[in-house]
Chains A and B, each alone.
Chain A
Amino acid sequence: DTEVTQTPKHLVMGMTNKKSLKCEQHMGHRAMYWYKQKAKKPPELMFVYSYEKLSINESVPSRFSPECPNSSLLNLHLHALQPEDSALYLCASSQDLTNHQPQHFGDGTRLSIL
């Protein structure tokens, strides 16, 4: 079982809806990440948080809005998404941002935009 928990597992939404993806870890990790993964492709980094501060934004459109309320939680707020945003959204965490730390992934939210 993964130690990074994501909810919901599946989400179907219309282009005008607002929804949020949630991620939680209790490993004491201080770095958390959002990735997007399309079928048969590797994960693409979207955002990195370090000690609850946004560290990296990989030029993600503003219809995706991350939030880190505390060291255990990471949210991704969604608004006015496009059909091409349908993908698996993965959250990950690592002890911190130092370069030798592996990342541990949640099992993802499968998002479909109608």
Chain B
Amino acid sequence: RKEVEQDPGPFNVPEGATVAFNCTYSNSASQSFFWYRQDCRKEPKLLMSVYSSGNEDGRFTAQLNRASQYISLLIRDSKLSDSATYLCVVNMGGRAGGTSYGKLTFGQGTILTVHP
């Protein structure tokens, strides 16, 4: 089983649609969670951190379910500019000095295309 798994898509949605991405992680000791977006031939950019209580930033809502080891990202009222690859990223945790301390593990990414 992969450490971080995402549905690769692609998701093709019309403008204005609501779309949801899911992600599961294998390590129950994982400490922190993020969604990044990456445009074609560009660097990953932090979209939002994911908190235990869930959090919202404008049209974007992130949820975390630690019991099910599951993270989601909901995008409402999709815009053409939302077209990108969305990366689910997990910090597996670990102790200072350990081999996984500070290390991020990336999912394979979910491709979203928003069309007119």
Partner-B contacts on A (CB < 8 A): 2, 31, 41-43, 45, 48, 50, 55-56, 88, 90, 94, 96-108, 110
Contacts and interface: CB of A to CB of B under 8 A. Distances in A.
Contact of B102 (A99, A105, A107): A99
A41 B2 CA distance: 14
Contacts of B87: 42
B49 interface: yes
B93 A56 contact: no
B52 to A, nearest CB: 11
Interface of B: 31-32, 34, 41-46, 49, 87, 91, 93-94, 96, 99, 101-104, 106-109
B109 A42 contact: yes
Chain B interface, DSSP helix/strand/loop, else mixed: loop
A97 B106 CA distance: 17
What 6 pairs across the A-B complex have the smallest Cβ distances? A97-B102, A42-B106, A99-B31, A105-B43, A100-B32, A107-B43
B22 to A, nearest CB: 16
Contacts of A31: 102
Nearest to B33: A100
B43 A102 contact: no
Nearest to B87: A42
Contacts of A2: 43
Contacts of B107: 42
Contacts of B45: 105
Nearest to B44: A105
Nearest to A103: B104
| Interface-central residue, A42, A98, A107, A110, by most chain B CB under 10 Å | A42
16 contacts: A45-B104, A48-B103, A50-B102, A56-B103, A88-B41, A90-B43, A97-B96, A97-B101, A99-B31, A99-B94, A100-B91, A101-B32, A103-B104, A104-B46, A105-B43, A108-B43
Contact of A100 (B31, B43, B46, B103): B31
B43 A42 contact: no
Given A41-B108, A42-B87, A42-B108, A98 B44 contact: no
